[in-house]
Amino acid sequence: MSGLPEDRRDERRAVIALCRRTPFGRLRGVFSSTEAHDLLAAVLHAAYRDAGLPESGLADVIIGNAAGGGGNVARLAALAAGLPVEVPGLTIDRQCASGLDAISLACRLVESEAGAWFIAGGVESCSTAPLRAHRLTSLPGAPDFFSRARFAPETHGDPSAGQAAENVAAAFGIQRDEQDQYALRSYTRTAAALDGMSAEIVPIAGCDTDETPRRGMTSKVLSRFPPAFTAAGSVTAGNSCADADGAVVAVVTSRARARAAGFNTVLEFHGSASAGGAPALFGTAGAHAVLKLLEGIQLNRNAVSTWEYNEAFAAQVLASAQLLGVAPERLNLHGGALAYGHPYGASGAMLVANLLRQAAMPGGPRDDGGWSVAAVSAAGGVGTAAAFRTVSLQ
């Protein structure tokens, strides 16, 4: 690519042309009996239809999934969606960063000319995720149930997500009232943005709106939540996300193909980075990925107009804002997972959907060259970040 004239290189850049998602359902809520591949199939079908893709044009479906039962949910859902049987399907797992990694991979494949069109994103059904068990060595065939996979050896520390959030709050001096204040802002912003999300939502089983947002939240209500993970802690159910069911996908292609297909405002991909950090403080790994990304593409953080950072816990977002030198109120203008929930494998893709929606709205960063960054922290102390620019094609 580097040997091409600049205008030719720009035309081959990957862009996010369209996003579609399910409504988000509460754990054991409206989608309590809907399996992950059925959630995903609905949005794959809608994205393929709405993008007007030629039957032989879709190169692959790349999907992030964190808590599923294994196999290849991307392939299963693609077939269930009625996509051409020639589309293979690839499922990846970097836990909560999986959806953003899937989109970044699709962008890189477009730019390497490995395919013309991709659908990428993530899916999670926390409600139907399988039980996990090892075989007992003392009683062959008997199950030894466990709640989650191990992400780091004990020598590094492998805390639960909630305990890691408490570790982050203590390490960065983040108080309970700061976390509650940030959470309240997320609830308020999410409520204000809900109407604007309707165009991207694909109805399923009669549900066409998010079940997850915590409406009517106030600072007084937030103050009543007891610590959720340690008796003297500051992390509560009010300033933590809720597990959710949902799927989010993006249509990825080149700038030239998007223009020819009639798309207007798109997100132009300008790189991604993944980074590791201390597993005991894994909520800040997304910030390390952002710093690595900005250095790699030589972008000053002050040039970024729109930030999306996954809100698993208010404490981790506030700590990451400290590391990045970004005011917390600049993050997540349309709210976040604290309010609408966290379908693990899909949450990174939801950040991209938020960025595309904001770019296309009146008053959004829609001028050519508006920079945006999405970032996610994931279990085990890893994070992923991606950078985009808003481009008007028509």
What would the pLDDT profile of 346-385 be if each residue is shown by its tens digit? 999 999 999 999 998 866 554 556 999 999 999 999 999 9
- Amino acid type, 265: T
Q: Decide if pLDDT at 4 tops 70.
A: no
Confidence of residue 84 (pLDDT cuts 50, 70, 90): very high
Tokens encoding 158: 């492998």
Q: Looking at residues 134-162, what average pLDDT do you find? A: 85
Directed axis angle between helix 161-172 and helix 314-324, to 10°? 40
Rounded Cα distance between 112 and 67, Å, is 30
Which of 6, 7, 16 has the alpha carbon at shortest distance from 272?
A: 16
Is residue 29 over pLDDT 70? yes
Q: Which residue has the higher pLDDT, 338 or 147?
A: 338
Single-letter amino acid, residue 118: F
Q: How confident is the model at residue 158 (pLDDT cuts 50, 70, 90)?
A: confident
The reported pLDDT for the residue numbered 9 is: 62
Element (H, E) at 353: helix 344-360
Tokens of 271: 């790189």
Name the residues annotated as catalytic.
96, 342
- The confidence score (pLDDT) of residue 368 equals 53
> Which pLDDT belongs to residue 1?
41
* % of the chain beyond a pLDDT of 70: 95
The model carries a pTM of 0.95
- pLDDT, position 31: 97
Q: How far is CA 63 from CA 3, 77, 92, 101, 132, in A?
A: 32, 10, 6, 9, 22
**If you average pLDDT over residues 252-265, what whole number do you get?**
96
- pLDDT score of 130 more than 70: yes
Q: What torsion, rounded to 10 degrees, do the Cα atoms 212, 218, 220, 225 define?
A: 20
Residues 272-313 pLDDT 10s? 999 999 999 999 999 999 999 999 999 999 999 999 999 999
How many Å apart are CA 328 and CA 275, to the nearest integer?
A: 21
What pLDDT, on a 0 to 100 scale, did the predictor assign at position 5?
A: 45
Q: 281 with 381: CB under 8 angstroms?
A: yes
Given a cut of 80, whether residue 223 has pLDDT beyond it is: yes
The pLDDT of residue 290 is 98
